[in-house]
Structure 1
């Protein structure tokens, strides 16, 4: 819940910069967007945003056997697999992997066994297909 509220404030502040006005004018719609992001990304390999700024986004995936993250353009070439840091989620006790990528325009292919998903990051907004 805390992540949803924090993300809603980020969205509202970005709207103020882009369109002008006050943060509270955008907050209700920003909360809808943040909640939608949280619900739509919760089942994507345990995806969670760990941090974000203007140029980089850090996200966490649950560590699973056979999990690989590649740039979408390289056809799963192991040479270009994204590097990550390993850790443990303090709330769940599960092993996690922390990835950092640019927020401008990034397409990633997440592969785990037979399951494959494409993750699109454009101007800090993450979508899955």
Structure 2
């Protein structure tokens, strides 16, 4: 299953007005909110008053890291996540645009850090 997309989809594939449903779990609480194809998941969460972790909002710091359980995102500016980890389902919600309905586990900054750099600290 392709969990991330590294190049923009043709505009004919998803109209920018398309809306998807995001189901996000954080700290044992599940939140569901809509997200447009032209809107980041973090922006949609904020618009829906869903408190997801964030800091830089530019795809660098990894505070907003999540793990996709289901669905696809387009995250062209996710500098803080290696491509192989994006393929494993890691996403930075501040720069992730939905391309389908999403089910994700938010608050994965530590898991992402361990996956990227843990081998260097042993």
TM-score range, shorter chain: under 0.3
Higher RCO by CA contacts (8 Å cutoff, separation 6 or greater): 2
Higher strand share: 1
Q: Going by fraction, where is helix more abundant, 1 or 2?
A: 1
Q: TM-score normalized by structure 2?
A: 0.26
Using structure 1 for the length normalisation, give the TM-score. Answer: 0.25
